[in-house]
Structure 1
Amino acid sequence: MEDLKVLIVDDDVFMVKLITRMLETLGIRSVLSARDGNEGLKAVAAHAPDLVLCDLNMPGMDGLECVRHLAEQNSQCAVIMISGEEKRVLQTAAQLAEAHQLNVLGAVQKPVTPAALKTLLEKHSRQRKAARRAAIPLLPLETVRQGLANGCLDVFFQPKVAVPGRELTGVEALVRWRDPEKGIMPPSAFLPVIEDNGLIDELTERVFELAMQHAADWARKGLDIKTSVNFSVDTLERYDIVDFIRETLRRFGMDPKKLVVEVTENRIMQNVTKPLEVLTRLRLMGVGLSIDDFGTGASSMQQLKRIPFSELKIDRAFVSGAPEDEETYAMLESSVALARKLGLEIVAEGVETQAEWDLMKVLGIDMVQGYFIAKPMPADELLLWARENSVAVS
């Protein structure tokens, strides 16, 4: 466990000592404490801790007010909410802290256990490592414009496998950038520039063309699977995108039934008229429609009623921790039941552990994607992966 500076904000002296001892056992040597929110804010300003464990019920400034002030001060520390209150109250407090744009690792009921602390500290360690890897500056606008014209966009593919046999049934196309000097770069290095400068249509069309080109090549080599491509809602507001998709499929000799268009459901409500026509016309062509990140938007049920989706893709937020967390499990289970009643195929994304995979089998989910199966990979590696994983490829 890498060394961290931790602040415990709690008026319960015994609990502070107990948590301090647990942290020391887990390898944390720098532990500070404060008796209420006011003292906690002063300690944050003076010592800049990496992590704050904040109780809800305290005299003076309570935990909810404390995290609000942390957010107003643009604090970069991670937060763990702790309390003896019932679980739903504690989780609501954690969600409130997240709404304030704080990095909330989780919520722990008292009495705090070493196992619960260890899990959240490991999560924090992974975040720090990921942040160091992701510390990539945005590409300049002119570089992005030139790169779009010169073929710097690339597409990686993440396998989608059937449950329980792990047969490869499809892939999701994910955009990447090939820099002549820096190599492969993630979307965080260029996507904000594209979105902020009206280039999203150009990116979407290029990614789609590349995905269909590779899918057609796989088909010629005996790998006949579905390919899912994300389409921006902005692009789906263009009536001519249907003709573009139809012509691209024709050009590469692709069966429309082998294409799945993924739409992030929490954005489509902004203007439903044009996307509704576009998506319905695509469905009439035989193209599959997937409601992506299901459950994270404010109008999931309304979208399912309005749009002829063929696939429901459950967001990672309802997969991660589901084997251990009763409420997350309940939400996952209800999403599966809803999809079943509507006759939709079900995909669980972000599956990363054996326990999560086992739960997907128990719930009868159709397909899974995530690091437990495979990371996104270039097209040639995907073909090799398919062969090595007993997929019939000539």
Structure 2
Amino acid sequence: MKILIVDDDDFTTRLLQIQLRAMGLKDSGYAGIESSSSGADAIGRLALAPADFGLVFCDLRMPGMDGVEFVRHLVATEFRGGLVLISGAEPRVLQMVEQLARQQGLDVLGSLAKPVTPGSLRTLLQGRKSAGLGGKWADCATQPGTTADAAELEAAINGGEIVNHYQPKIDLRTGAVVGMEALARWQHPERGVVAPDDFLPLVESAGLVTPLARAVLVNALHHACSWNGAGGGLDVAVNVSLASLGRLDFPDRLAAMAAEAGFPLERLVLELSESRLPTEPRAQLDILSRLRLKGVRLALDDFGTGFTKLAQLRDMPFSELKIDRAFVQGVSGDASRRAIVQAALALARELDVETVAEGVDNAEDLACLRALGCGMFQGYLVAEPMPACDVVPWLDAWPTLREGVLSA
């Protein structure tokens, strides 16, 4: 697996190569660094062998094919690695292209202003923990270049290879652990832990959304019951899709699963992505209303990345609003991000719903969120997603860790 730098500026290319090698390229599993001064040439390479590249750096201002066009064509190559945008353009332009790339399903690690400094590069890669450089940023042990078909994935779901990892959710006012968010991973017998970005697209195209959701829910309900002693009654949050909500009997099936596990529905949070809210929500409103009547809480996930109408927020019975990491990360030093987060918090207060900031990775952003009045947060500052077996030991250690994290 290699790194590809796409920039028509030779100086920037050479500078990035030096900085990446200094950060431990040889020990990271990367075979080397390639460069291209043309977006079209880079797309050609990626189209021929998208799995050969694990990380792409792309300048926005290039002759022939600019960075926005590059992003558009990159989606078609089925590239599954990380993307870093670099440019001397004004920060708001970089942020806009970041959002555009994420909306098209690309794994955008972030953006860097020119000239790129070693500190900014290291902070970006360490913050996301998804590039794999030097073994320190790897979110999970995904191996590059592996593919699966629908039959293999279906067998994995039925065979119990889909496992949950959990990330803590912390009350910003008290420092208490209020819950855990369940995140699906594929525990492949040969490839190790496969990240969701590498199998979720296949889940959707193969029509396996409902079986996967059931597997994650069943795991989460049983795991949460086992945490009662250490966790003191933690909430558990699970992402659900509109495909699951398309069945009118979903609330009843969910209630049956919870009863079998012995888990109270009042402690279950179902998260719906803002970008996938229904445009014709009549059936979903039926289901969501019944879920709320049964005590299940509903969270609007990735808030700010979609185009939610205020009427949808008014009509859908959400009890929690999760502010997307795109606005949280860097909020302490960016007036635009701060204004957006402040507006989201004000809206949540008016709607009388709780707020959760996603992707909190440093103490500066946490302090800013506290000052703005955010209620809860989660992110690598507290813990990266962990296997279920690590949750209780982490809960036992949190009282000792808490002061250092919250007072940093």
Alignment length, in residue pairs?
367
Is the counterpart of residue 168 in structure 1 residue 177 in structure 2? yes
Q: What SS does the aligned partner of 1:266 have?
A: helix
1:138, CA displacement in angstroms?
2.6
2:86 corresponding residue in structure 1: 80
Aligned twin of 2:227: 218
Residue 266 of structure 2 aligns with which residue? 257
Are 1:190 and 2:224 matched, yes or no?
A: no
> Which residue in 2 is equivalent to 1:346?
355
Summarize the alignment of residues 12-161 of structure 1 with structure 2, pairs less than 5 Å apart: 51-55=57-61, 67-68=68-69, 72=73, 79-83=85-89, 88=92, 92=96, 105-106=110-111, 108=113, 115=117, 118-120=119-121, 123=124, 127=131, 129=133, 133=142, 135=144, 137-161=146-170
Q: Could you say if the C-alpha distance between residues 63 and 283 of structure 1 is closer, same or farther in structure 2, counting changes exceeding 3 Å?
A: same
Report whether the alignment pairs 1:303 with 2:312.
yes
1:358 has 2:359 as partner:
no
Distance 1:50 1:289, change over 3 A: closer
Is 1:7 equivalent to 2:10 in the alignment?
Answer: no
User: Which SS does the other structure have where 2:342 is aligned?
Assistant: helix
For 2:323 and 2:382, locate their aligned partners in 1 and report how far apart those are by CA, in whole Å: 16
Question: Do 1:173 and 1:211's aligned partners in 2 also have CA atoms closer than 8 Å?
Answer: yes
Q: 1:303 to 1:353 in 2, by over 3 A?
A: same
Displacement of 1:277 in angstroms is: 0.8
Aligned AA for 1:106? S
Q: Distance in 1 between matches of 2:34 and 2:390?
A: 47
2-structure distance, mates of 1:278, 1:251? 21
In structure 2, what residue type is equivalent to 1:176?
A: R
Residues 124 and 271 of structure 1, relative CA distance in 2, 3 Å threshold? same
Q: 1:195 & 1:212 partners in 2: Cα distance?
A: 23
Q: Does the aligned pair in 2 maintain the 1:138–1:188 contact within 8 Å?
A: no
Look at both structures and tell me which one has the larger radius of gyration over its CA atoms: 1
- 1:265 partner amino acid: E
Give secondary structure in 2 for the equivalent of 1:292: strand
Q: Which moves more between the two structures, 352-361 or 46-55?
A: 46-55
Given that 2:222 and 2:263 are in contact with CA atoms closer than 8 Å, whether structure 1 keeps it comes out as: no
Q: Specify which of 332, 346, 349 is matched with residue 323 of structure 1.
A: 332
Cα 1:63–1:325 shift into 2, 3 Å: farther
The answer to whether the 8 Å contact 1:80/1:104 transfers is no
Distance change in 2, residues 1:220/1:240 (3 Å): farther
Q: Which runs of 5+ in 2 are unaligned?
A: 23-32, 47-54, 401-408
Q: Secondary structure at the match of 2:156?
A: helix
Which of 226, 233, 250 pairs up with 2:242?
A: 233
The CA deviation at 1:339 is 0.7
TM-score of the superposition, structure 2-length normalised? 0.75
Shift of 1:107: 6.5
Please tell me whether the aligned partners of residues 112 and 120 of structure 2 are also in contact (alpha carbons under 8 angstroms). Answer: no
| Offset at residue 234 of structure 1 (A) | 0.6
Deviations 1:320-358 (A, max 9, x none): 111111111111111111111111111111111111221
The 3-state SS of whatever aligns with 2:263 is coil
* Alpha-carbon spacing, 1:277–1:8, altered in 2? closer, same or farther (3 Å): same
Matched with 1:376 is: 385
Change (3 A) 1:181 1:333: same
**Matches of 2:41 and 2:153, distance apart in 1:** 43
**Contact 1:81–1:90 at 8 Å: present in 2 too?**
yes
Contact 2:7 2:36 in 1 (8 A): yes
CA contact (8 A) 1:94 1:107 kept: no
TM-score w.r.t. structure 1 length?
0.77
